[in-house]
Amino acid sequence: MVENARSINIVASLILLVGIIYILGPLYLTLTTASHSYEFMLQNGLVWSPGDEFFVNIRRIFTETSIPRQMINSLIVALGDAIATCVLSFLSAYAIVYFRTRWAGVVFALILATVILPLDMRFVTTYQVASNVFSPINALLDATGLNDLIAALFGAPFHMEWSILNTHAGLVIPLLAHGMGTFLFRQFFLTLPRDLFKAARMDGAGPIRFLVDILLPLSRSTFASLFVLTFLSGWTQYLWPLVASSTADMQTAVVGLARLVPDEGAVPDYPLIMAGAILVSIVPLSMIALLQRYLVQGLILSEK
Amino acid sequence: MNAVDTAIHVAAKSIRLADVTKAYGKVNVIPSLDIEFRSGEFTVILGPSGCGKSTLLQMIAGLERVTNGKILFGGKEVQDLEPKQRGCAMVFQNYALYPHMTVAENMSYSLKVAGMTKPERQARVKIVAGMLGLGDYLDRKPGQLSGGQRQRVAIGRAIIREPGVLLFDEPLSNLDAQLRHDTRIELADLHRRIGATTVFVTHDQVEAMTLADRILILNKGQVEQFDTPKAIYHRPASVFVAKFIGSPPMNILPAQGDGSVLRLSDGQVVGEYGLKGDFQLGIRPENVVVEQGMSGGLAAPVRFREDLGSHSIISVDIAGTPVRIATPFGGVVPDYTRLAVTFPMKALHLFDGQTGKAIPEGFGVASKDGK
Ligand SMILES: Nc1ncnc2c1ncn2[C@@H]1O[C@H](COP(=O)(O)OP(=O)(O)OP(=O)(O)O)[C@@H](O)[C@H]1O
Ligand SMILES: [Mg+2]
């Protein structure tokens, strides 16, 4: 801070304090609510004082809901998203930065476009493709008239169907079409000395050796940053898992939590829901606590 | 020390570029080059920024492909080979050390890739580290070294494979003046000891003059002159070379010959000369003679003086062209606002008025370097 006056310090501290209350208040209320029984809540509403039913509620999550099974789904989705994003981004950034590829600029622009056009905006088309992976090919063959030809030759037009809805792959793959990781790695590669690649070639290392011996060890902390960021975003995805999974044992924990609210009528069992919410947040929270350094690094890098 | 030195043996190879051209898309960076670097020779490539020095070096290294023509190492065509198959090594301007590897790992990486066993690698690292005075730093990472030490690691990494051809791309330009001077002397010594055919790119003429057996002066991808430092200084082949070498560089003035005398553009007579036509007259600052009586000779109004202690540089105008005069060592020139100077005929260089090429039969120029 450039200014050092006392009054400014006090004002800044006050603003921070308000911010902290704003964030921690609801979290605290979550905790207290999770520690009362449903009956207590029906009588008293949401209260700020803690009760003694917390572990009972946690046990009910394990016995009465699909949340544990759904947390495993979440783990698969978040890990799959994080690992696949890391590998794909690393490789595509490598190709873009280190090879004089034709159209490299166009490819990179398209990759960046996925940042501007996230999944939420391409929802309907993504759903259509996920419900039949071959639909783009079918449509292309229909539009170009090739299918008429195929129908004339083979007796039937080319038309195949393969739905990945309600599978783990179907939950993960659409999340991968996101250019942020490629961008992150590209930015990192550009900070490395330009002649490193040439030096490795002079030393006799081909492109793969360079990738494994030089680039991979240097990229460790970028990997960690991207892994944390995509894991968290994978864990907290809501909209896509909601539509892409139709059965309770395929849904992710976040979707499962929302489903604990009854569709109509009865007052929701808030203590149970809050206990579930706490359970579901433990994974990302501990991740943030352990890998905070990389998270901050990743956020800074992705803003450059 | 000599006992370990003998452990690096290189088989130096000559390098020949036969009608080599290089174009990036439509940009013709090197129109056509046909030159030979002799086996074991230390050649310095000198030229302005963007003239294609790095491109040329990388074609020799195998990092860039030639568009046309051939490159021969010791008579063998190599233009289609990968760098590792050519047996050459390169030192880069920014060192390009592997940041995550120790000094020892950096130097021995090429040996590791080539499949040499660990004990053999360690033995070689020891020899090279000994030669370069890096023995105490083998376990450090490049980030923990000074610029000069990094430079040595880069050199060590290059010579450890005993390359027949050693390439340097402005390796000293990131060092401060003192370190650059010391490293220059070490490089000359190293070259004497290992004897690889060396091509060294720089745009520092002092490096070129002191290190080179021969200097190749490039301009827009073409050879201006390829000769010994002495010949380049005393018999520049063109105005470009004349202006490029020497500190301060050679003065160039337009002049006309009318068949009997040579005149400057304002009509003042420089001396007798038999040819007609437009010329460019060159004279080195140290060869301009200041007349004692401050009269006679050419009129030279003084613009400013720089006193360097051992001598002074006086900037004057002669026939409207800025001319710099270097006074002899310890020489004192009175603080006049106007001088009278003469150009001794045998110190004059004559270049064609249009092409800028030297006119060899100028004034018996050939005798000027004392031969
Ligand atoms: N990959 C490339 N694509 C297109 N043009 C290039 C490429 N590399 C170099 N050039 C062009 O080729 C010319 C020569 O470049 P080069 O790097 O060889 O110059 P240089 O003599 O080494 O200059 P400097 O002294 O600044 O290092 C420059 O005009 C440059 O713009
Ligand atoms: Mg260069």
Q: Which two tokens stand for residue B239?
A: 């105005």
CATH class belonging to A66-299: mainly alpha
> Given a cut of 90, is residue B360 above it in pLDDT?
no
Question: What is the count of structural domains for chain B?
Answer: 2
In this prediction, residue B118 has a pLDDT band, given cuts at 50, 70 and 90, of very high
> Given a cut of 50, is residue B212 above it in pLDDT?
yes
Q: How far is the CA of A188 from the centre of ligand 2 (A)?
A: 24
Give the range among A299-303, B225-229, B273-277 with minimum mean pLDDT: A299-303
Residues B25, B144 within the same domain: yes
> Given a cut of 80, is residue A101 above it in pLDDT?
no
Span A225-233, mean pLDDT? 92
> Given a cut of 90, is residue B238 above it in pLDDT?
yes
pLDDT at position B197: 95
Parallel, antiparallel, or unpaired for β B276-283 and B251-258?
antiparallel
Q: Is residue B34 part of a domain?
A: yes
Residues B27, B97 within the same domain: yes
pLDDT at position B7: 61
- Give helix then strand counts, H and E, for chain A: 17, 0
Q: Which of B26, B29, B217 to mutate to test the pocket of ligand 1 (most atoms within 8 A of CB)?
A: B29
A104-116 vs A180-191: helix axis angle to the nearest 10? Answer: 130
Give the range among A145-154, A218-227, A241-250, B67-76 with minimum mean pLDDT: A145-154
Of the partner residues A201, A203, A218, the one whose CB lies closest to the CB of residue B99: A218
Start-to-end CA span in chain B (Å):
40
Instruction: Please name the residues in contact with B236: beta carbons below 8 A apart, sequence gap of 6 or more.
Output: B225, B242, B245, B250, B282, B349, B358
Taking an 8 Å cut-off on Cβ atoms, the answer to whether A204 and B83 are in contact is yes
Cα–Cα dist A115/A181, whole Å: 10
Residues B41, B178 within the same domain: yes
> Given a cut of 70, is residue A1 above it in pLDDT?
no
CB crowding B335-365: b at 16 or more within 10 Å, else e: eeeebbbebeeebbbbbebeebebbeebbeb
Burial of residue B46 (number of CB atoms within 10 Å: 0-12, 13-18, 19+): buried
Q: For residue B170, give the 3-state DSSP assignment.
A: coil
Dihedral of the CA atoms A44, A50, A56, A57 (nearest 10)? 70
Span A190-197, mean pLDDT? 91
Residues B332, B221 within the same domain: no
Give the range among A176-190, B124-138, B266-280, B357-371 with minimum mean pLDDT: B357-371
Q: Is residue B242 part of a domain?
A: no
Domain boundaries, chain A: 1-64, 66-299
A217 touches chain B (CB under 8 A): yes
Q: Is residue B362 part of a domain?
A: no
CB of A167 closer than 8 Å to CB of A250? yes
Give the side-chain half-sphere CA count within 13 A for A126: 21
Going by CA atoms, what residue is nearest to atom 2 of ligand 1? B24
| Mean pLDDT (chain B, rounded) | 89
CB of B353 closer than 8 Å to CB of B254? yes
Tokens 């299918």 locate to A147
Taking an 8 Å cut-off on Cβ atoms, the answer to whether B94 and A194 are in contact is yes
pLDDT at position A4: 66
What DSSP string describes A1-60?
Answer: -----HHHHHHHHHHHHHHHHHHHHHHHHHHHHHTS-HHHHHHH-S-SS--S-HHHHHHH
Cα–Cα dist B308/B331, whole Å: 12
Q: For B108, which residue in chain A has the nearest alpha carbon?
A: A203
Residues B9, B111 within the same domain: yes
Domain interval for residue B278: 250-352
> Given a cut of 90, is residue B203 above it in pLDDT?
no
pLDDT at position A32: 93
Q: Is residue B147 part of a domain?
A: yes
Q: Is residue B359 part of a domain?
A: no
Give the range among A70-79, A100-109, B310-319 with minimum mean pLDDT: A100-109
Parallel, antiparallel, or unpaired for β B165-169 and B88-91?
parallel
pLDDT at position B73: 94
Residues B40, B185 within the same domain: yes
Q: What CATH number does residue B340 fall under?
A: 2.40.50.140
Give the range among A19-33, B2-16, B107-121, B244-258 with minimum mean pLDDT: B2-16
In this prediction, residue B365 has a pLDDT band, given cuts at 50, 70 and 90, of very low
CB crowding A221-250: b at 16 or more within 10 Å, else e: ebbbbbbbbbbbbbbebeebbeebbeeeeb
pLDDT at position A302: 62
> Given a cut of 90, is residue B311 above it in pLDDT?
no
ipTM (interface pTM): 0.83
Tokens 């990094």 locate to B150
Q: Is residue B371 part of a domain?
A: no
pTM of the model: 0.81
> Given a cut of 90, is residue A157 above it in pLDDT?
no
Residues B82, B211 within the same domain: yes
One-letter amino acid for residue B63 of the chain: L
> Cis peptide before A271, with omega less than 30 degrees from 0?
no
Give the range among A188-192, A258-262, B93-97, B333-337 with minimum mean pLDDT: B333-337
> Given a cut of 80, is residue A204 above it in pLDDT?
yes
Pocket (CB within 6 angstroms of ligand 1): B 24, 27, 29, 47, 49-55, 203
Residues B217, B257 within the same domain: no
CA distance B207 to chain A (A): 23
Cα–Cα dist B326/A297, whole Å: 58
> Given a cut of 50, is residue A85 above it in pLDDT?
yes
> Given a cut of 50, is residue B1 above it in pLDDT?
no
In this prediction, residue A303 has a pLDDT band, given cuts at 50, 70 and 90, of low
> Given a cut of 90, is residue A59 above it in pLDDT?
yes
Q: How far is the CA of A53 from the centre of ligand 2 (A)?
A: 73
Going by CA atoms, what residue is nearest to atom 9 of ligand 1? B55
pLDDT at position B264: 92
Residues B289, B218 within the same domain: no
Span B50-57, mean pLDDT? 94
> Given a cut of 90, is residue B46 above it in pLDDT?
yes
- pLDDT tens per residue, range B242-254: 999 988 999 999 9
**CA angle (B94 as vertex; B92, B95 as ends), nearest 5:** 60
Residues B112, B259 within the same domain: no
Residues B258, B201 within the same domain: no
Q: Name beta bridge partners: B218.
A: B223
Span B310-330, mean pLDDT? 89
Q: Indicate the helix (H) or strand (E) that contains B217.
A: strand B214-219
Give the range among A97-101, A125-129, B297-301 with minimum mean pLDDT: A97-101
> Given a cut of 50, is residue A152 above it in pLDDT?
yes
pLDDT at position B30: 94
Most confident of A105-114, B101-110, B306-315: B101-110
Using alpha carbons, select from B52, B88, B17, B29 the residue that is nearest to residue B201.
B52
CB crowding A5-38: b at 16 or more within 10 Å, else e: eeeeeeeeeeeeeeeeeeeeeeeeebebbbbbbe
Tokens 């360079």 locate to A210
One-letter amino acid for residue B169 of the chain: D
Q: Indicate the helix (H) or strand (E) that contains B306.
A: strand B298-307
Residues B205, B314 within the same domain: no
Please give the C-alpha separations between residue A51 and each of A54, A82, B150, B331, in angstroms, as whole numbers: 7, 38, 65, 100
> Given a cut of 60, is residue B366 above it in pLDDT?
no
Percentage of chain A modeled with pLDDT above 90: 53
- Taking residue B253's Cβ as centre, other Cβ atoms within 10 Å add up to 20
- pLDDT tens per residue, range A269-282: 999 999 999 999 99
> Given a cut of 60, is residue A64 above it in pLDDT?
yes
Span B263-271, mean pLDDT? 89
pLDDT at position B370: 36
pLDDT at position B3: 42
pLDDT at position B66: 95
CB crowding B223-235: b at 16 or more within 10 Å, else e: bbbbbebebbbbb
Cα–Cα dist B137/B145, whole Å: 8
- pLDDT tens per residue, range B161-200: 889 999 999 998 888 888 889 889 989 998 998 889 999 9
In this prediction, residue A155 has a pLDDT band, given cuts at 50, 70 and 90, of confident
Chain B contacts to A (CB-CB under 8 A): 58, 61-63, 82-84, 88-90, 92-100, 109-110, 113-114, 157-158
Handedness of CA B139, B142, B144, B149 (dihedral sign): positive
Which of A189, A195, A202 has the most B C-beta neighbours within 10 Å, making it the best mutation to test the interface with B?
A202
Cα–Cα dist B235/B250, whole Å: 12
In this prediction, residue B327 has a pLDDT band, given cuts at 50, 70 and 90, of confident
Instruction: Please name the residues in contact with A158: beta carbons below 8 A apart, sequence gap of 6 or more.
Output: A137, A138, A141, A146, A147, A150
> Given a cut of 90, is residue B237 above it in pLDDT?
yes
Taking an 8 Å cut-off on Cβ atoms, the answer to whether B110 and A202 are in contact is yes
Q: Give the phi and the psi of residue B220 in degrees, each rounded to 5.
A: 50, 45
